[in-house]
Structure 1
Amino acid sequence: MKRYFIAIFCAIIYLGSLALPANNAEANQLFIDIPKNHYAAEAIQWAYEFDIINGYPDGTFRPNQAVTEQQFAQIFVNYFDLEPVEEELMKFSKKQIASDAIYNTLAAYQVPLNGYFDNQIRSSAVTRGTVAQALAYMLNGDTTLNSSIQFLLDYYITSGQNPKYENTNLQRYFGASNHLTRAQLVVFFYKLQAKSFFYISPKAEQNFENTEQYTLNKRANLARNILDKSLRKGSNWSTEANNKPNKTWNGEYTYFYTYGNGDIDSRGRILSITNSSKSSFNVTYYTYDGWNSGTVEGVATIVSDKKARLNKTSEGTRCVIEFEKIGTNSIKTTEFYCEAGRDKGTNYNGTLTLETN
């Protein structure tokens, strides 16, 4: 019972943020898009009454809207009342986000999920197969997709999606590669609590004890490896993978503007980014405005998925320039302090566009 009430309380805090309360539902129907004969109506009614999940201001529940992996991960940790850990994962994504602590905990238990090292994967829609493997691993220690699906079927947590494959292809029958929806999410946890499935498998408990003294990143790698190959996204962590070339910043970005008849009546900027890795890239930045010009070279440090910062030139002179990705083909540069190497009539501020062949 302790796990039940903790799970309900924590899920209220999180899932309430997925949507705002519905105020326009008809008196005899909780949500206008959930008729009484909807397969998830009872589960949604239960979840709503316990304030686990709400609807939208237009009176809809949007049962077919996809759930992201990190949304599922948050509910998963709360439902099983998993113990937090102090160790933190190193990620390919530099930006710290709210789900970091959740994934640290899941890595300690070695729960099979994809997004341990990549913020973008965390925010993408989670598949039913991934959810099945995470649940069956935690409850029963299952480590294959088929055994995980079979576990959920045996205990009537799910009945599958494609009846024509029931006796021929278990994964297609279950719809393993399909996205988990809001309605399916509610049904899964509704049926789990109805059967008092709050316990943790000995395998998960043993992995949490970590008698081998593995690093948290290695435990996350082991967790990702449990996932069926058909469900995996991204890469496992390694020093080489973290430092391998990252071409997402590389390129020559330019801006030109002519306001007169001659060369001196124009301004421009040419930013060249090379040798981009997961943590830094090389910068050569030339800017001019009429007769005034300047060039700076150095190494910028990547501080998040979309931002990097140059703090000094290759000669060791102080020069602070922030680089921010705008969409996929532009970079906005902002100079905070960078007087060395340029005339006073120009600076390193502007938005530049990637040159393409």
Structure 2
Amino acid sequence: MKRQHYLFFTLLLIIMSFSFNTKSSAAKTLFKDVPTHHYAYDAIKWAYDFDIIGGYPDGTFRPNQPVTEQQFAKILVTYFDLEPVSEELNKFTKREIASDHYYNTLAAYQTPLNGYFDNDIRGRAVSRGVVAQAITHVADGNATLKQSIQFLLDHSISSGQNPKYEYTNLAKYFGASNNLTRAQVVAFFHNLQNKNYFYISEDAESSYENLDNLPLNVRANAARKTVDASLRIGKDWSTVSKENSWDGNYFYYYKYGRGEADSSLRDLTISFTSKKDFYVEYETYDGYATGFVQGYATVISNKKAMLSETIAGERCVIEFQKLNNNTIKTIEHDCDGSRQRETNFNGILKLK
């Protein structure tokens, strides 16, 4: 009987040993090109376990391969668990692709990226500087390239690549224009996790709340423009030629007395001109009386357009007449809900 028990427990130990060895072997061969002594092994395993990033069908991770901007966009949304939006971006490249969901979300948070409107840019390698600005915006708030790099360095989320520039050129020290590898980007987020950076900055949250009711394309354009000029590629959203575009900031100001309020102002911003419409933000005041309207004006011809209601659905009829490329005349027909009665939206405004 004792011999049977001995044989049973011996067999059980063999099975358990085989099980543990199998698990250990599976862990070691999670990706056949990422050995356990790889500098980013723990980070890659962590990212894989939490479904932040995956491998390729051939069993590789390809740690030294540059990460594309759309791959980074997915990781950023997944790590911070950013809230999706129902609104969708209008792109220059109309074909729907898998990354659309992530770019729509990141546009709502006004995250600095280049590829909002162009599938080709999304598929290109993303630079370390763009990644630094995007991560810092979501984790800490709006920041320039230098401020973003300093944030990553100060919190040991990343390190520099070119020591000789450490005290003379922060962007070169960090390698801002260099591509980021798949291993490096995973290490970034693993370090964020180790530093307990899970929460979203007030700037990013404020953009998402969108109290000004800005269209998603407007927020994406604003986000793209925050990418440092040395790293920015592509172009802002526009669907018509510059010659036929109404886009611009038009202004009128007149001081008619010595008092603080003895002046009149008309401040008109037109953006995102298409063949059908354009987006309007129009502010006016006369003395202490003020008015403000946001909405889409329908393009009637190259010289005329008409706004019928505000973005909130209130009736407001304003006619826009393009006198030349630098001057616009506005004529209000009915906007009582958007202004005080002592002011209106009429005026001849010049491009700033």
TM category, shorter: 0.5 to 0.7
How far did 1:105 drift?
A: 1.3
Question: Which residue in 2 is equivalent to 1:158?
Answer: 158
Q: Distance in 1 between matches of 2:54 and 2:223?
A: 32
How far did 1:153 drift?
A: 0.5
Q: Secondary structure at the match of 1:84?
A: coil
Question: Which residue in 2 is equivalent to 1:132?
Answer: 132
Asked if 1:106 corresponds to 2:139, the answer is no
Is the Cα–Cα contact under 8 Å of residues 26 and 32 in structure 1 kept in the other structure? Answer: no
How far did 1:31 drift?
A: 4.8
Q: Secondary structure at the match of 2:230?
A: helix
How far did 1:78 drift?
A: 1.6
Question: Which residue in 1 is equivalent to 2:92?
Answer: 92
How far did 1:58 drift?
A: 6.0
Q: Secondary structure at the match of 1:230?
A: coil
Q: What is the percent sequence identity of the aligned residues?
A: 64
The runs of 5 or more residues in structure 1 that have no matched partner are 1-24, 245-277, 280-357
Q: Residue by residue, what CA displacement relative to the aligned partner does 1:97-136 show, whole Å, maximum 9, x if unpaired?
A: 2222221111111000001110111111111111100000
Please show how residues 285-324 of structure 1 align to structure 2 within 5 Å.
none
- Of structures 1 and 2, the larger Rg is shown by 2
* TM-score normalised to structure 1 length: 0.57
Q: Is the alpha carbon distance of 1:55 and 1:208 closer, same or farther for their aligned partners in structure 2, counting shifts above 3 Å?
A: closer
**Alignment coverage as a number of residue pairs:** 223
Question: Which residue in 1 is equivalent to 2:149?
Answer: 149
Q: Residue by residue, what CA displacement relative to the aligned partner does 1:62-100 show, whole Å, maximum 9, x if unpaired?
A: 211011111111121121111111211111111122222
Q: Residue by residue, what CA displacement relative to the aligned partner does 1:166-222 show, whole Å, maximum 9, x if unpaired?
A: 111111111111111110111011111111111111111111121222211111110
The runs of 5 or more residues in structure 2 that have no matched partner are 1-24, 245-273, 276-352
Question: Which residue in 2 is equivalent to 1:118?
Answer: 118
Q: Distance in 2 between matches of 1:50 and 1:206?
A: 28
Is the Cα–Cα contact under 8 Å of residues 67 and 180 in structure 1 kept in the other structure? Answer: yes
Is the Cα–Cα contact under 8 Å of residues 52 and 78 in structure 2 kept in the other structure? Answer: no
Q: Distance in 1 between matches of 2:181 and 2:166?
A: 21
Q: Distance in 2 between matches of 1:51 and 1:217?
A: 29
Question: Which residue in 2 is equivalent to 1:183?
Answer: 183
Quote the RMSD (CA, aligned, Å). Answer: 2.7
Q: Which amino acid aligns with 1:72?
A: F
Is the Cα–Cα contact under 8 Å of residues 129 and 176 in structure 2 kept in the other structure? Answer: yes
How far did 1:42 drift?
A: 2.5
Is the Cα–Cα contact under 8 Å of residues 107 and 216 in structure 1 kept in the other structure? Answer: yes
Q: Is the alpha carbon distance of 1:84 and 1:59 closer, same or farther for their aligned partners in structure 2, counting shifts above 3 Å?
A: closer
Question: Which residue in 1 is equivalent to 2:306?
Answer: none
Question: Which residue in 2 is equivalent to 1:42?
Answer: 42
Q: Distance in 1 between matches of 2:230 and 2:173?
A: 15
Q: Which amino acid aligns with 1:227?
A: V
Q: Is the alpha carbon distance of 1:50 and 1:201 closer, same or farther for their aligned partners in structure 2, counting shifts above 3 Å?
A: closer
State which drifts further: 51-60 or 167-176: 51-60
